[in-house]
Amino acid sequence: MLRFINPSSSNDEAGKSVRFWGHDGAFEIPFSITHEALNRVRPVPGGDEAGYLAVFGSNRARIYDAATRVYSRGRRGSYVVGASEF
């Protein structure tokens, strides 16, 4: 069962995404959500690191729901939540 017990997130400017982590049992699962997807969730004020992290932080439940859907599609090394999820 996928859970999001670690509230940490970090902006990856080179990858144009925000990284976060889920847990499935003892396994840590790396996720990222693209900046484009975050702008679909809510327009990012300023389009900078602080703005992306603020939108991520204030929309965690919706983002975690999308991440759970992506995760359920099959096992991979890491998972990307894209704009099409919103």
pLDDT in tens, 23-62: 999 999 999 999 999 999 999 988 899 999 999 999 999 9
For the chain, what is the domain count? 1
Hey, is 44 helix, strand or coil? coil
Helix (H) or strand (E) run with residue 19 in it: strand 17-24
Q: For the chain, give the number of residues.
A: 86
CATH number of the domain that residue 8 is part of? 3.30.160.140
* More confident position, 74 or 62: 62
Full domain range(s) for residue 13 = 2-85
Compute CA 57 distance to the chain's CA centroid, rounded to the nearest angstrom: 10
What stretches of 4-66 adopt beta strand conformation (E)? 9-12, 17-24, 27-34
According to the model, what pLDDT value does residue 8 have?
95
